[in-house]
Structure 1
Amino acid sequence: MTGGLEYALIAVAALWGAAAGALLPRAAHRFAVPAGEEWRSACPRGHPLAGWLGPARCRACRETPYGTDAGTASGAGAGAARSTGAGAGPAYGTGAAVPVTVTALVCAALAAATGTRPELAVWLLLAPAGVLLATVDFRVQRLPDPLTLPFAATALALLGPTALVPEHAGEWTTALLGALALGAGYFVLFLINPAGMGFGDVKLALGAGAVLGWYGWPTVLLGTLAGFLCGALYGGALVVARKAGRKTSIPFGPFLISGAFVGLLIGAYTA
């Protein structure tokens, strides 16, 4: 791949990542609830939210200034809200800067490692979902079923036809076996220590095993070890900083995803 084409591909991937990341804040807000609770259906002030993708802003809030109940807003209050430049309403959550930046960097790195091979399209489609999963788990230590299981199914469904396209560098059969193997491995860890490994991690491992398995068993092993190493370093840093004890539970999903990302980069680069 020539230098100009490589840089153009990376730039396009970064733009795609930034655009996709801008759609994640609302979904992160709605999914980031403790285990056992229903997904959020309203903004922090109680206005119903429509849809799952988009910025974390409520259109109804622009008509209702803070300090006024949603059902009793006056026309004057709405004018005051507009005069403050509220636009689509006050932002809630942590905003779009982090998901936009992270997703853009992830997609750019994947493009740099994969090049013009057809599986790049699969990685770019899956990357925003991975960022969303990591964000939600980091916030509330929960990996939503509507994301984990479709992530694995989508990975395998997209890699199937990709294996028929010329110049691909992986094997769909190994991707399937990798999903089953990593899922089974995490399931054993869950049975051994349910307090330290959530069942959501088991479901997420299916998708991670699929993308890692595409490039073979060494990549599966590398990505798995990288995930545990990242988690151990994070937990150790918290203990040293006295922000956690040895028995403190930490979300493992972000590190499982980070390990898969590292393994995928190396696997794609060396393929």
Structure 2
Amino acid sequence: MEVWFPVALAVLGASSGVPLTRAAERMLRGGRRFGWPVQVVVGASTGALVAGVAFVLGPVEELPAYLYLVGIAVVLAVVDITEKRLPNAIIYPSLVALPALLTAAAWVTNQWPALLGAALGAAALFALYLLLALVAPGGIGLGDVKLAAVIGFPLGYLGWTPVFVGGFSGFLIGSLVSLAAIAARRATLTSSLPFGPSMLAGAFVGVFFS
């Protein structure tokens, strides 16, 4: 793979800071508008994730699915951090778009076992989070349960190791974020912090370890 490939995609990703920020604003219920600092963070985060995904996977047929994951991940993270919710307007279409993109990739490459892995990965993470939501309703929300299915598709397509690594990393990152917030006196042991960004960050850790 040529070096220019991830670099070019990183530039395109970084340039999407404004449109992705605007997309997040449209999902907010309070009509909030973000200034340039948030747009810069969104653009930098998108560029870094796009570069990482392109570097790890290369110019493969399934790459569009993972670039789509980057786009929705950034928007979902902004909304969840701001309003502590994961909008169905993104989650539900993604439950169709990601399987469709991965199915197209499997059809072109004849990688049907990978597509089966995607379905099983989504089912496994969905079942795990649903169980946790039923056992501890205050910790895991229904939005997190649905997001688990979303991230399970692209992780499962890459194999079971990314599913395990991505799932575990989400909980690890969430725990570290909670400890940091408590140490900074921004939260207490009973505070409810948005877990979606940690799940999404963990998902990309899983992708990078594929």
The two structures share one fold, judged by TM-score above 0.5: yes
Q: What's 1:144 paired with?
A: 87
Q: Is the 8 A contact 1:169 1:215 kept in 2?
A: no
Unaligned runs of 5+ in 2: none
1:127 to 66, 70, 83: 70
Question: 1: distance between equivalents of 2:49 and 2:155?
Answer: 16
Question: 2: distance between equivalents of 1:196 and 1:182?
Answer: 16
- More helix per residue: 2
Change (3 A) 1:177 1:169: closer
CA positional deviation for 1:167: 8.8
Q: Deviations over 1:1-32 (max 9, x none)?
A: 3xxx2x11112211221233321122222223
**Mapping of residues 43-58 of structure 1, within 5 Å:** none
Task: Give the TM-score normalised by structure 2.
Answer: 0.92
**Highest Rg: 1 or 2?**
1
Question: 1: distance between equivalents of 2:110 and 2:104?
Answer: 13
RMSD: 1.8
Question: 2: distance between equivalents of 1:125 and 1:19?
Answer: 15
**Are 2:34 and 1:32 aligned?**
no
**Are 2:27 and 1:94 aligned?**
no
Unaligned runs of 5+ in 1: 34-38, 45-91
CA positional deviation for 1:169: 10
Q: What's 2:129 paired with?
A: 186
Q: 1:9 is paired with a residue of what secondary structure?
A: helix
Q: 2:139 is paired with a residue of what secondary structure?
A: coil
Q: Deviations over 1:117-175 (max 9, x none)?
A: 22122211221111100111011101000111222221111000101223969700110
Q: Deviations over 1:76-131 (max 9, x none)?
A: xxxxxxxxxxxxxxxx4133211111101110110111112221222112211111
Task: Give the TM-score normalised by structure 1.
Answer: 0.72
Q: What's 2:161 paired with?
A: 218
Question: 1: distance between equivalents of 2:110 and 2:134?
Answer: 41
Q: Is the 8 A contact 1:209 1:220 kept in 2?
A: yes
**Are 2:145 and 1:202 aligned?**
yes
Change (3 A) 1:14 1:259: same
**Are 2:7 and 1:17 aligned?**
no
More displaced 10-residue stretch of structure 1: 14-23 or 122-131: 14-23
Change (3 A) 1:9 1:168: farther
Identity fraction in percent: 38
Q: Which amino acid in 2 is paired with 1:20?
A: S
Q: How many residues align?
A: 208
Question: 1: distance between equivalents of 2:108 and 2:4?
Answer: 22
Question: 2: distance between equivalents of 1:128 and 1:138?
Answer: 16
